[in-house]
Structure 1
């Protein structure tokens, strides 16, 4: 990983300390999370929209073990270090931190973002961490998803096109 990309990937405690020093009402911290396996146009548009909601975008990235618990034993396709590096290469992403828990609640409680962003395919009542952010005076934003853009769809296309060769 190049030096500039390495600066974006931080451990939870280091990121929390940095955010405490840099937090500002004019530069709200936006948080989102996900697996981001096989990064695609839907991910890029989503992350750009999330970044536009504030002054700083933090991405909580599910670890490989966490992805396996959520998506099954065949996932992720791309390992966590490479997924983190790809995310770090996006201009709209300011920081990435990897978490191993099945959901991001503990990470959200530690980082205390001003804005929690999630895809519009999530009902507000189902967004983990929403209560924690709202109780601190923050807000939760649901971002439109790109129809037809999904990692599962990409995997299905590859399997369909290349099976039986």
Structure 2
């Protein structure tokens, strides 16, 4: 009886300790990713455009984040309906990331280290490849995920309108 009680207490303690460690890992992965001055909607001209992002590490330790970009699966707020067939267009765009320390970067994904409680400014350069249809919208999901964290990370949505340069 005494061995069973001791074994049961050890097992409960192990489970409680494991869950505490897991929840601390989730809580310690917090970050915020925002667009400077809430300017998440922009028009893209012939020379492309830049979005300025702010990545804030709200965890208790320094973290290294991998910043990536993907087209959103759902259509943008604005509709891209073409002709009577109602085809939804969301063209692919060229996206690169830059930091204030490396403004000549041409990387499709970057890693940045941010100290606890600090922020890092990032730039997202969006360009239109040749042959992209004009007067269409594309929305991009920018994600900042910390190494070793199981959560999805911080994310923000950028909306880009591909304008016709002859109408500018």
Does TM-score exceed 0.5, indicating one fold? no
TM range (shorter): under 0.3
Which of the pair is proportionally richer in strand? 2
Structure label with greater radius of gyration: 2
Which of the pair is proportionally richer in helix? 1
Scaled by the length of structure 2, what TM-score is found? Answer: 0.27
Scaled by the length of structure 1, what TM-score is found? Answer: 0.28
